[in-house]
């Protein structure tokens, strides 16, 4: 397939934004847009910019008419990733403080099942990409843009708007960003992780401690502790899940098993602590734990046994 030029990407993004503004897409169109977004790393940003232009144009028209623009939550979409575009927020103009106050109390929920990822265009032109087993709410109003991430992992590509801060809340943490790309990860009892890929990103703890993140850096926030910055990250590794992959770099088999468990009901089980401590590197398909286990067994001289409930890795019997 011939790679699109930058101008062709921008033109296609504008056409998709215009089609989305005309109303909900058909299932076939939703699938086509989904595939288009995943086909080139430039397309997500172009689509976000096109959405932002469309949204700001509608706002200007509404303000000229003396109306108050706000976002109305659509009915909760089906879990299927194919229906993600129909769940994008629509903009309508409604007058009256009472209607606005009612909307401000309303949150639009989002959710992904095990093994599912979703791309969610937001009202302001920003884009949220959800990884497996994520849930939370979108809470937008005239003064602020807020996302609540209860659990899971989400990538945010945020349109700059100094008049409306963009904030992601997760537990006691708050991430404030503007014109940025960043990832928030909250998995079980593990510390909250925030990864910045560029732009203005700040992680705030429960006691007001703020930590600014440079591009391609990570920060952790544990309960009761201030945020801590770590070294540089590998962006391709952090975002491999967007392409249905798990990238491991000198990880233990136990750590790899936990990562695969996020995407699959069939568990990988190291038979003993020695096997669990063995390390592996590679790029693997997230929803294919059997192929991973067989590759690991071949590389580490292990035996692998597969049944309906688990995949067991054990020391090879001589």
Residue 99 has pLDDT above 50, yes or no: no
Q: What is the pLDDT of residue 105?
A: 45
Average pLDDT for 38-43: 78
**Where do the structural domains in the chain lie, given as residue ranges?**
244-315
Lowest average pLDDT, out of 15-24, 121-130, 249-258, goes to 15-24
Of 187, 287, 200, residue with least CA distance to 240: 287
Q: Which residue has the higher pLDDT, 13 or 77?
A: 13
DSSP 8-class letter at 178: E
Average pLDDT for 193-199: 95
Residue 152 has pLDDT above 50, yes or no: yes
Q: What is the pLDDT of residue 162?
A: 85
Where b means 16+ CB within 10 Å and e means fewer, 217-245 reads bbbbbeeeeebeeeeebeeeebbbbbeee
% pLDDT > 90, the chain: 54
> pLDDT band at 208, cuts 50/70/90?
confident
Rounded to whole angstroms, the Cα distance separating 317 from 126 reads 54
Q: Which residue has the higher pLDDT, 63 or 209?
A: 209
Asked if residues 46 and 54 have their Cβ atoms less than 8 Å apart, the reply is no
Asked if residues 79 and 116 have their Cβ atoms less than 8 Å apart, the reply is yes
Lowest average pLDDT, out of 25-29, 45-49, 133-137, 268-272, goes to 45-49
Q: What is the pLDDT of residue 18?
A: 76
The long-range contacts involving 111-114, CB below 8 angstroms and separated by at least 24 positions, are 111/79, 111/135, 112/79, 112/81, 112/152, 113/79, 114/262, 114/263, 114/264, 114/265
Looking from the CA of 221 toward its CB, the CA atoms found within 13 Å total 28
Rounded to whole angstroms, the Cα distance separating 302 from 11 reads 52
* Residue tagged 């401690």 (tokens): 209
The pTM for the full model equals 0.68
Considering the chain, what is the average pLDDT of its residues?
Answer: 81
Where b means 16+ CB within 10 Å and e means fewer, 100-126 reads eeebeeeebebbbeebbbbbbbbbbbb
Coil, strand or helix at 55: helix
Q: What is the pLDDT of residue 103?
A: 40
Strand segments, DSSP code E, in the chain are: 69-72, 90-93, 108-111, 118-121, 127-130, 135-140, 145-157, 166-170, 173-186, 192-204, 210-213, 217-221, 228-232, 245-252, 267-270, 279-285, 302-306, 310-315
The number of angstroms, rounded, from the C-alpha of 123 to the middle of its chain's C-alpha atoms is 16
The number of angstroms, rounded, from the C-alpha of 209 to the middle of its chain's C-alpha atoms is 25
Q: What is the pLDDT of residue 277?
A: 97
> pLDDT band at 94, cuts 50/70/90?
very low
Looking from the CA of 310 toward its CB, the CA atoms found within 13 Å total 9
Q: Is 235 left (phi over 0), alpha (psi -120 to 50) or beta?
A: alpha
CB atoms within 10 A of CB 187: 17
% pLDDT > 70, the chain: 81
> pLDDT band at 1, cuts 50/70/90?
low
Of 258, 269, 265, residue with least CA distance to 297: 269
Q: What is the pLDDT of residue 5?
A: 81
Among 3.10.310.30, 3.90.550.10, 3.55.50.30, 3.40.50.300, name the CATH number for the domain at 244-315. 3.55.50.30
Q: Which residue has the higher pLDDT, 148 or 37?
A: 148
């Amino acid at each position: 397939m011939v790679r699109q030029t930058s101008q062709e990407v921008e033109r296609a993004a504008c056409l998709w934004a215009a089609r989305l503004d005309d109303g909900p897409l058909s299932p076939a169109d939703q699938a086509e847009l989904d595939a288009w977004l995943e086909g080139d790393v430039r397309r997500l940003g172009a689509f976000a910019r096109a959405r932002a232009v469309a949204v700001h144009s509608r706002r200007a028209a509404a303000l000229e008419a003396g109306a108050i623009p706000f976002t109305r939550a659509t009915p909760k979409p089906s879990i299927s990733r194919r229906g993600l575009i129909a769940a994008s927020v629509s903009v309508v103009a409604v007058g009256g403080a009472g209607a606005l106050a009612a909307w401000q109390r309303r949150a639009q929920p989002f959710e992904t099942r095990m093994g599912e990822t979703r791309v969610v265009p937001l009202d302001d032109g920003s884009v949220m990409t959800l990884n497996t087993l994520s849930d939370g709410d979108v809470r937008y109003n005239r003064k602020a843009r807020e996302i609540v991430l209860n659990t899971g992992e989400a990538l945010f590509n945020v349109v700059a708007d100094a008049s409306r801060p963009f904030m992601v809340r997760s537990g006691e943490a708050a991430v404030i960003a503007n014109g940025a790309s960043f990832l928030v990860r909250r998995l079980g009892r593990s510390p909250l992780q925030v990864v910045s890929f560029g732009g203005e990103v700040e992680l705030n703890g429960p006691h007001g401690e703020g930590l600014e993140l440079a591009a391609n850096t990570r920060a952790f926030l544990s309960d009761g502790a201030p945020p801590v910055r770590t070294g540089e990250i590998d962006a391709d590794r952090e975002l491999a899940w967007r392409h249905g992959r798990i990238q491991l770099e000198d990880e233990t088999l136990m750590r790899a098993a936990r990562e695969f468990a996020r995407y699959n009901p069939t568990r990988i089980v190291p038979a003993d602590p020695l096997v669990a401590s063995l390390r592996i590197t590679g790029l693997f398909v997230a929803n294919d734990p059997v192929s991973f286990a067989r590759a690991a067994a071949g590389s580490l001289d292990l035996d692998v046994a597969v049944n309906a409930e688990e995949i067991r890795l054990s020391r090879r019997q001589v």
